[in-house]
Every structure is written in C-alpha cells, then in structure tokens.
Structure 1
C-alpha cells in the first residue's frame, strides 16, 4: 500500500509527497485518490433536483459575495494553483567532503550541465540536446547519470515501465574520448561503480559487470536468473513493500565489492490479472501472472551475495540468524556491510555485520518491537572513521524508538549494540532526510519537534547529544523539506506551507548571516530557486476556502489531529444547512493532517458543493508516538473507524451542519476505512460513502505489508475475520454508497471489490453504485480514467447532497 506513494490529495495527477513519508505510507495506495460510481435513487427525482441545482450554478454562482472566483476542477486541472517546486540533483564529486562547491546537475532543453551553487561562473556541459544517433538510428535520452568523476555518462533510452518503480531500457556509455558504447537492450537497471570505470547491470534477472575502460562486459556474475530468481533487482513484493526502488545492489565505497540480493520466489503463489482493452484488434484478453505472496502464504526467499571484483567471484553470505525479510543493506566502511532483517511479522529486528573480505557475519544487535512493529526504513547513514574528528571507528546514524517516540541515534562503531541517543522527547524525527557533515560532526534532520503537523530542519552534534539547534524558523508554523550537497555545506530548503511555497539555497558555513529571516535562521541565503510569485498573484483573484488545522477531542478522550475547510461565504448562523465531506486514509503510521499549502480536490469540494471538508488522523496514524499508532495492531479497521464516527458525531451536533448529508470518501486504505466505517456506523452518522480500490479482506493483500500489522492469518484468525469487510447489511443502512476499482490493479487486486459485490448480491442489497475502470492499475489512469474517477467523485457526491 502506498501511504506516500505517496499521494497528494490536491494533485489530481498524483505525485509522491513528503506529507506521507515512505515509512508511513501503506503501499496499498498508489499515487492518487479516486472513486467510482453513480448514485441512483429514481431517475426522475435525480433529474429534477439536479436541474434545480444546476440552475443555481449560473455564472454568478461561481462568484462569491466579494466577487472572487470559486475554485473549480478547471482551474485546478490547468495548474492555476500548482506551485513550482524544483529538485536539485546534487553531485557527489571527488574532494567534495573537504572542498564542497555544491555541485549539482541541471537538465534543460539544451541538455545536461554541472553547475555550482557556490561559484555561479562554474559550468561544465555533460551533454547537449535530448537525443543522439547510434549506428544510423535515433535515440531519445530518457535519463542520464554521470560517473562519479564526471568523465563519462550512463544514458538510458527506449524506456518501458514495469511496476511502480521498475522499468526496462537500453543503456549506453558515452565519453568524449570513446564516443558511444552500447551496454545492451532490455536491461532492468545499470549502476556506476564508485571507481567510475565499472558498471553493474541486470539483464533477464542475471547480474553482469561491464567495463567502460574495455568497452565490454567482462563478467557474468550470476547464472541462475530466471522468471523466478532475481539477482540485483527486486521481485514484485520487494519492489513494492521493502526496497521502494528498482534495485537490490550496493557498491562498496571504493568499488572493491558489490553486494546484492538473490531473491527466489519459486514457492510464492501466482495471481493472474486479465487485461481487456490493450489492443483494439484483440478479441481475447491478455493475462499477466504475478508472483504475489498473500497473507499467510510463502514469501520469497532472499539472501545476500557478495561479489569480489579482484577475485571475480560471488559468494553467498551466511547470516548468523536466518532472516525472513531483508529490509535494509548499507556499507558502513570499505569492507563492512550492515544488513537489517526481521521476522515475517516485523516483531523482531536483527542487525547483522558482514565482513566482505573474511566472508563472515555476526549479529550485532537484536531488538523486539515490544508490542508495536518495526517499520521498513532506508535511513541508515554511514559515519566514516576520522580520529582527528573524534570518530575512532566507522559508525552509523539510525532512527530508533526512545521512550515510545522515534529518534535519531548514533552507533559510534558499526558493531556496537548500544547507541548514543542524539535526540529525545515526546516528538518524532521524520524518516529523513539527514545529512552528516564530516568536518563539523553535525547531523541535520527533519523532525516534528514543534508540532506533529509541522516539519522543521534541525541539527545536533555527535559531540553534544540532545542539544538541538533550529535551522529553520520554528517561531512560525511551517513544513520544510531539505536536501544537502555532498559535503553538507549547502542545503536546498523547500518551504511547503501553509503559505505559498518557496525554495532557497543556503550556505550553512557562511561567515555572514541573513539580515532578513525567511525560512532559515542559520546560514546565508545564496539565492532563491523558486518564489512562486505568479502563483501568489493568481490566488488574489480566487476565493480560496479557509483551512484550519486543529485538534479534535473524540470519544475515549482521544485527541486527534484534524483540519477543516470551510465553504465560501460560510455562515455559522445558518441552521441544518451545510453538508460535511470527510476524507480519510488512516493507514498505520500514515499522516494526512500536515500544514502544507494546497488548493486542489478538497477545495473544489468545499467551493462547488458548498460543503465543509474534514480530515481526521485517528488512532493508528503517525507522528504521535508508539502508543497512539500501535493500538491498531492485529485489529485493523476497528479503532480507525471508531474515530471517524466520533468525529462525524461531533460535526453532526453543530447547528449549521445538515446531519443527513455527511459523507466519507477514501482510496486504497482509505477505501477500506470507508467501508469499515460504514459497516460499524450502520447509517447512524455517515449517510453516504465512496470507496476507491479498497482492501476488503486482509487475506487478499500482500504478506509483507499485512503481517506487519496483523501477524499471519494462522496466528490471528479472529483478527482477520473482524478486520474484513463482512457485514454488508450494516453498510446498507447508509442511504447510498459508491464503489470503484481498476481491473488491472496489481497492488490491491480487483478481487477485493468483487468479494464485496458478491456479498451484496447474496444479501439482496441494491442501494449502491459501481464503476469499473478497464485495465487501470491502483492509480486509475488508463484511457482517461483519472479524469473520470475524480469527476465521478464530485458529481456523485453532489447528487447525494441533493437528495
């Protein structure tokens, strides 16, 4: 499940968003939200009431009392409210630790160029244009990665997407001296060695070594790659739930060794997905089979393999404790490899240290989750040995729970069992990013220290633990993200709200400081990357619905983060007037209530439907500590539904709310939570519901995600029964509900919705609507589906509120 993606509610084209950190996002939800259906009570009633409603929506109906224009789908979809946010591709160039020039790669229509944030006159063109000719054939440049010494380029072309993160393509090496070298076609991936000479690549699930110096493949590292054995790249579940990327290979710091996973999914069950509208001339469906481990069924078997380049030999690493899941691998020295693993239910974390030269491993620590679970993270950061700086050994930074809250810790030696605690308190560090400055021993990190709905940039020194320095201005509410140059001197600070976003480059080691503070209170601003002044001007013409972040006190004394968006010209003196549109995601460790800037789908709902919009992060969600989130363990859908119902009751009691027009919408885990809430509520508060691509039975979802929160069905039979969507007669007590799903969903299989439809048929229930999107995956995009799904959510809800 994708917790975020990743997805942004306000971004109808769905993009990954830091508002849902990777570790918090339920991989079930892909990029985006969506819905399905059509509400029908009687055609004549709907027609008459819809016509009445539409008549009121004259040109004057799109203006507020102040004469400003209401937010609509049209101006959201054309990008009127989309801030410009740029990514800076920092380059880890030789010598950057001691002499950090802040080198980065720019990509424009003219090609690719290395520039410096410190020296504006520095420029080095790596590539001109967007295409090239090789053997009289034209190729477009899909991606380009420079070698670490910036002398050669690795170019991918003819890219074909596979799953969420993976693709296939043709790869070329280019340099001014040798011209083009073709590595091969239909490769899964290719990656430079730190030595700038070698390239590891995967073809047909086998791993190869290519020498750019010799212009040829010099070794076939593995021989057993097949449709069921993966070398150096993940299978479906490792890509989706564990690695969150397309590769499982890691070069050692000097390029002497290559570590990779061998994943064998022979024992994993297959799930077949039919595709119906791929080719107009085809009269038969196409079938795609995926090895997909469902809850309680065999997982793929993953092992660590080390390839010694000098010896030209690959050897499997025998880990001291046989793991069920390999969740993170990181070099913490020239020959030392750190490997994290868990049991299949993520109850116990085991950390192994592998000596690549001796081919030996040992367990350096083993930790229980103590009633919670271990999230899969990728934030371990190597801290190199430097005795002159007080670092006697190679160590690493990590995030671990401290008194029930996730905090930054430092293992001074890679084989230490106990860390130095760098931060502590009733707040949590985010999943990253952090940067380590090897010259100053400062660690930079993003945390929800001021408030769980905010993110600020801080630093702490290895020599002075728990003395935290604010880098961004914590006197005002804000959400920031940051990326750092390779030496840690320069930082791209991205302000994401609640006001109009901006981005700036800051020199953290400047002798000067900013006179006027905006964003950062440490360092000197070199320049702004984006200011979004045009967006600010555009906003003046529109009536942006007011948004307020708040805390709600729910039943059982639960204090939950929430925000509400008020419709234009809101009048609290009206009685029984305003509908309430709840949006929910609610997956374990996720977060939707974040003080970011957004004008999108929820604002469209508030403006066009004259409705209050409410989002509540109930129990189970992240950044409020272990006790708040781990309560849902082994019983998904229970406490989450209770909190949505409690919030609905609270709003129903407000005099200006029409208690007969309260609806709930969710996608992926949110779709599941919508159905579970309707089931528990039985029409008492939520009168309408819209569920898109929902899980309906956790036995149907993948083992890696599900068992982290539910254990296996064999261990928790009653929990799986209770957590499934099973009481459809209770759901039917709502006035009407809508169900939508893509038939090509490889993540949350269409099987989930079909199971519920079958139960509805068996129970003679008819007060629902369905829309199926042929061949669309979890993001529902195929053949214009993404436009349709959002239109249906809005229009279906509009008709529901007219009843």
Structure 2
C-alpha cells in the first residue's frame, strides 16, 4: 500500500492509530526525520542557549532565526536532530506466569542491554531472561536483532544476521536460548520467519518458502510441512503484494490456541508478471546496472492465487479450506476456538465480503456464515477481528467474535455469537466511528474497550461497552478536553498503558483499571487509578518554552455545496508563520500539504513539530492541510464518493480550499503551492491539472502514481475496479492533460529510481507526456536506487532540502523573473 507522508506515521505512537493507506500506508522513514518530532540545535554557537538552564536569555531580534519575542524559530537542524522528539515507550505485555485472574502486569523490558521481565504492579519484581545483546555460539559472535519469548517464558527465540527484504520482511539466523540452562541451540540460517506455538515447545519457521516445525524439546526440525516452496510458491510467508497490501506484515501463518494445528497461506504467483527494477549505484565498480525482478500484479493483470491450509501436528497432514476462488483475496484469518478457524475473503475488487468458518478436525467441513455487499463502497482490509471465548458462567453461551461493520454509514462494533451467526448484535452506534475494532476484552466482566471518534473525527478517546449492555458507553478518557489517545492492555486486562499523543506534549501512564479508587485529579483518564507515569516528557515541555513553534489551528471548512445542494464540510488545520500580521495586504504565501488517499487522515490532533512547521517558520508562509472527500473517519458516504473516480473530488476540494485562502486580504494569491508524496504526489498533479493555473501556481510532487494502470492490483482495484470494467474511470483518473498542467507557473517532480512500490515508470511516462505537449515549466530530481521512502545515499536529506529551497524560490518570485 502506499505509505503516506504524515505527522503521525513516523512516530512510535503512529502504530496505534490507523491511518491509511497507499496503505497509508509516506515513506515511513522520510518523515521519521522530518514530519514528526524533531530535535537539537541549528547552530553550535547557540547550543548553550538552546539547552541552557531554565533562566535562558532571549536572543537579539535581528537574528533571522529569532522571532520578535526573542524566541528561536523551528529549523531543519532542529527537526533532523530530534529537538522536538518526545520520548515514548512501548510495553510488551506478556502472560505465561500468571492466570488472567492473577494479572501482575508482566512485561518484557530491556535494561542495560539485558532482557528482563518486570511487573507494573510490583516494581521490585524482576526476572532475567537474557543478559546482554551479544552472544557467542561455536566461537562465533552474534548480536540479538530480535527476541521473542516462549509463552511460558522459559526459552527465547533469537534472530541475528538480519537482512532486510521488503517493507516488513527480513531474513536472518535463528537461535534458541534456554533461560534455565543458559544454553544456545542453532535452528538455521536464511530463515524468513519463525513463530512460537502456544504450547511453548514447537516453533514454525519458513526457509526457502517452505514451512517447517522445530521442536525445542528435541532441538531438531521434526516436520517438513510443505515441499513445494519455490521462487513462485510461498508457504507461511507472503509474497510482495500480500505483504504490502493485504497482511501488512511478514507472516502468513497462525497457530491454533493450543498448538494442535498450524494454519498458513500457500501463495502461488506463477501467473503474476515480473517488473524489472535496475539499480545503478550499488557498487562503485559495476559497469552495468543490477536488475532485480519483482512479481508485481498491476491493475487488471493476474493476481497471485492463495489458499488457506491447515496442518495437523498429530496426524502430520495438511488440508485446504475452501475460501473463495482463484481470484479471491483472503484478507484475515482468526482462530475462534481450539479447532475452528474463521477467514475473510473478498472478490478481487473488494465488493463482496465472505466470512468462512472451518473445523480443523473434520477435513472439508466449512460453511459460509456471512456474505455482505459493500453497497457502492468497498471493504477495507482489517486485522482487528477479536475472538470472544465461550464462558457460560459469564453469560457467553457460545464462542463468538467482534468485528468492525458499517452501521447506518459508520463503522461500529458488531458481536457475532455463535461464530456462524450471519447477523450481529451491534454494541455501538452513532454518527462517529470506532477506530481499528476492539482494543481489548475483559473476560471476567464482558467489557469491550475501544478507541473512537465519538467526540470529534480529529480526536481519539477510549471507551468501554459491555457485551450484555449495548450502546451504554463508559468514557475512560476525559472527553471534556482535546485528546488523542492510544492504549495497550496487560494479559488479564487489569492494567493499561495509556498514551496521550496530542495535541499537547505527549505523556504515558500505567493505569489499574480494577482499582477500587480513582485519581483525585484526572489527567487523561476519568476511570482507573494511575499507578505511575511511564513518561512525562518534562525535558521536552521545558525546551519548547525556548522556541516559537507555530501552532496548528483546527477547523472545519465549508467548501460550498455539492451536486445535491449539501454543504461540503471538511477537516483542516492551518499553521501561521511566526510574527504573523493579519493587517498586511497581499503578503503571505500559502503552502498546502496533501495526502488525500481513500480512508486516510492527516488532520488529526497529534503533537508534532516537523516539516510543516519548518516551512511556516523559514518561509514565512501559511501552511494548510485539508482532508477532502474520500478521506476517513467522517463516514461511509464521505469516503466512498471517490469510488471508480480517483483524483476528481479530492482535487476539487483542494482547489476550493485554496480559493478560500486566496480571498483573504493578507494572502498573496500569486504564491499558493501544493506539496504531496505518494498518493499526495498524485493528488498534487491532478490538482494542478484540474486547476490549470487558476489558483495553485506551484506544485511539488514526490513519488507519484500518474496512471492507475501502473499501480498494484490489490490497492487500486479496491477503489477503481479493474481497467477492463472501468476503463473510462482509469482514463479520467490518470494524469493526462499536460497542457493544463503547463498553465501552472512551475512544478517540481522527484522520484527514486529504485521504488518497488510506486514504480519510477510512473514519472517516466509522465515526462514523456510533458515532452509530447511541449511543457517545459518544471524541474526534475531523480534519486538513484532509492525506494519509495527516498533515503538511499543521503537522499532523504536532499529531498527535503530541495522541497524547502524550491518553495523558497517560488515564494521569492524567482520562477516569475527567471532567476533560478
């Protein structure tokens, strides 16, 4: 999927907040340094001032990096050195030592390079698992790159010699470490994925696309589950498109709850066509480019075929589950009992969702419990369905599951019990949306915790609802104040890590949700007792007093009426430059940033000081971000409007917003620009094309799709159907009117030649279009061998330097006078 360039995506907190997708997924690392929180100092001579004692002195106001109030401006150097980067911790909750009713809040921690088990309930508790991050095996030294504890915590699965593959996947050497004997055992080299069984004995691993089972008791591989793995057939791990667009991860295997069965995907991409990517600067002595072939299904071309397989360890036998057909996408797999498995499948265009249930004990036994139409929308791929286990003593007569299902046009929690039930009991309702499905389930109380946009689509608050009391919601976080929260729970649901991510300085706290007392002074939560703060970020909070950080102002813009006479209301925020003076006339340039992909979101109240603030501070420009129609969290009708017609409504809304700003007396309407990356790069070009120089005078497009026939099938067909069924839509949606684009004053195009996601082919085709139309008012920068994130060989520094300097030239009028 696409990665989006967002103020969230590059931070740790982003993992808890669903964005989108071109899934959603910017180039994640690109913004890691630029769009989110930044850092230290811009001049060594100012180091003592920036990091000095609380009584810091203000600098002379004639310094270009200082405001009229004597505060420091935000600069690239700050952002790149993490001056504004809050500390955020992750808590890897673990079970294994206690039953849920005896939840001590155990978690895995790394202290002084060693791996230890700690407890949030008893801070004196500590159990050493592995000392140090380096170890020796047969006189060779290795480094711990990744560690996964067995469920009973007696053994560690360790990966070393890690080699990155695609976005999520790696290869490496795997070892087994016994915490009781302090001994290491070697499992194998060049392993793509390895996962513990719930029984703490068996390990499933993938090597050369075949699936094996290793026994930690016998210290040997005891089963070869498949023998057909090849460059075309993937067992237990995804191919490129399933990793990028469907599973959004590197694993395609699922252990049953008791470790009796192992489900996995068998993906055959024999029919998928290859795309060659040449690499020119990998080795200095190479005279010819290295060409890497990648199986990449473009729109309308053959997809890989996928089958869900179930392996029985006891019988050493594998059977297939009949889920869909050869063209179906299997999007989610979930065990809903010791032997029952649920999988979701859609047609290749995500119009029809089928939910299939199978029993691993009976070969060929399966049923289709649900068949649902998207009704002029599409089914997004999700991985948040939650099994609700049977417990008659607590009123749960049969196994069930909670899913996220549209209800009156908004995504809400739906409870299906028994698991083959076709119609759910909805737990939530209203003109707001649940985000990412259920966040946690308390088996003792039947409480379901979830994050939702109930207060505002730009905020995230935590709530709970009981299975037996639908629609009766309890607020966990304080909704009287603005807030963006994420949460994770201990194994028994007693403790929670509550992370406040904005709009103010982030903090994290550990809550006891089952305490008989509550906080005297609520900060964040109104339910539960705060045990302690994991992070308060006081250093960052104090440091911010030294800077004039331009603030975001959130508002809902009215862009006028649509074809049905309804007001078009969109979320937006603006960042005003330092020392902003509204009495000036025709003075301020406006820098629009857009992503705009289907179901994505950029306008969200997260703390961030990054590239947008750099632009406002350094270019004396107003920065505006608008989430137009097609984006997420404002309901099905708002987002599904773009189906089969990408680029149209999104571009209209950017133009309408720009016109509103062009009418402001303090705005220089001749200096309005638009910047976007990935889907945002596409939207930039489509907006310039539709606008034809009337409102947007400048544009900056990075790594854009220019023709949806050239992008991958799974993402594109979800929103556009196939070219065979919607050729007119594809023709409208591609960037095609070069003459109209040429009416803008000037635009910038940048792309990495090694982009395996949005192929450089898109920009080359676009350049050819410009040549044929005699359009020359643009600049081009190619980054050799860089992928979609553009970071190879210092490229990430250059791409943002170029964006800032090019925008400065545009706002200075250089492209009008010709001096550039």
Q: 2:111 aligns with which of 108, 118, 121?
A: 108
Indicate conservation of the 8 Å contact 2:6/2:602, yes or no: no
From 451, 459, 470, the counterpart of 1:454: 459
Match of 1:580 in 2: 590
Compute the displacement of 1:8 (Å): 3.3
Alignment of 1:293-332 (within 5 A): 293-319=297-323, 324-332=328-336
Residues of 2 paired with 1:25 and 1:454: CA distance? 22
Residue 667 in structure 1 maps to residue 664 in structure 2:
no
* Change over 3 Å in CA distance of 1:391–1:433 after alignment to 2: closer
**Which residues in structure 2 correspond to 1:340-359 (within 5 Å)?**
340-359=344-363
2:36 match: none
Q: Quick one: distance in 1 between partners of 2:220 and 2:805?
A: 58
Residue 37 of structure 2: aligned partner: none
Distance 2:499 2:108 in 1: 18
Deviation of residue 95 (structure 1)?
Answer: 3.8
Question: What secondary structure sits across from 1:17 in the alignment?
Answer: helix
Find the aligned partners of 2:15 and 2:155 in 1 and give their Cα distance: 32
> Does structure 1 residue 706 correspond to structure 2 residue 716?
yes
Aligned to 2:406: 401
> Which one of the candidate residues 640, 643, 646 is aligned to 2:656?
646
The answer (yes or no) to whether the contact 2:22–2:679 under 8 Å persists in 1 is no
The match for 1:728 is: 738
* Other-structure match for 1:794: 804
TM-score (norm 1): 0.95
SS, match of residue 558 in structure 1: strand
Q: Which residue matches 1:375? A: 380
Contact 1:27 1:241 in 2 (8 A): no
What SS does the corresponding residue of 1:302 show, helix, strand or coil?
A: strand
Is this contact kept in 2: 1:433–1:482, CA < 8 A?
no
Aligned equivalent of 2:23: 26
Taking the aligned partners of 1:723 and 1:19, their CA distance within structure 2 comes to 32
**Deviations 1:760-790 (CA, angstroms, capped at 9, x unpaired):** 1111111100000000000001000011101
Shift of 1:444: 0.4
Residue 239 of structure 2: aligned partner: 235
Give the conservation status (yes or no) of the 8 Å contact 1:319–1:362: no
**Alignment length (residue pairs):** 779
**Number of the residue aligned with 1:147:** 150
- Aligned partner of 2:571 among 561, 564, 567: 561
Taking the aligned partners of 1:400 and 1:70, their CA distance within structure 2 comes to 46
In structure 1, the partner of 2:96 is 93
> Contact conserved, 1:348 with 1:367, CA < 8 A, in 2?
yes
What pairs up with 1:623-772 in 2 under 5 angstroms?
Answer: 623-772=633-782
Counterpart CA distance in 2 for 1:278 and 1:18 is 32
**Partners of 1:461 and 1:25 in 2: CA distance:** 35
1:53: which partner in 2? Answer: none
2:214 and 2:221 in contact (8 A); partners too: yes
Q: Which moved more, 1:248-257 or 1:279-288?
A: 279-288
Point out which structure has higher relative CO (alpha carbons under 8 A, 6+ apart): 1
| Greater alpha carbon shift after TM alignment, 103-112 vs 527-536 | 103-112
Matched, 1:428 2:433: yes
For residues 16 and 323 of structure 1, the distance between their equivalents in structure 2, rounded to whole angstroms, comes to 36
TM (norm. structure 2) is 0.93
Whole-angstrom distance in 2 between the partners of 1:234 and 1:22: 22
Gaps of 5+ in 1: 35-56
- Greater mean deviation of Cα atoms: 13-22 or 257-266: 13-22
Provide the C-alpha distance between the structure 2 equivalents of 1:19 and 1:192, rounded to a whole number of angstroms.
24
* RMSD between aligned residues: 1.6
The answer to whether the 8 Å contact 2:262/2:310 transfers is yes
Q: Determine the structure 1 residue equivalent to 2:512.
A: 507
1:97 CA drift (Å):
1.8
SS of the residue aligned with 1:542?
coil
Residue 414 of structure 1: which of 419, 432, 437 is its match? 419
2:479 is the alignment partner of 1:482: no
Task: Find out whether 1:335 has 2:339 as its counterpart.
Answer: yes
Q: Choose which of 4, 7, 10 in structure 2 pairs with 1:9.
A: 7
Q: Tell me which residue corresponds to 1:156.
A: 159
The gaps in structure 2 that reach 5 residues or longer are 32-59, 562-566, 814-820
Residue number among 368, 371, 374 corresponding to 1:366 in the alignment: 371
For 1:71 and 1:10, how far apart are their aligned partners in 2? 18
**Secondary structure of 2:198's partner?**
coil
> In the alignment, what sits opposite 1:174?
177
Counterpart of 1:517 (choices 516, 522, 535) is 522
Partner residue, 2:131: 128
Deviation at 1:59, TM superposition (A): 6.0
Where does residue 611 of structure 1 map in the other structure? Answer: 621
2:278 aligned partner: 274
Question: Closer, same or farther in 2 for the Cα pair 1:32/1:212, shift >3 Å?
Answer: closer
The DSSP-based 3-state class of the residue aligned with 2:655 is helix
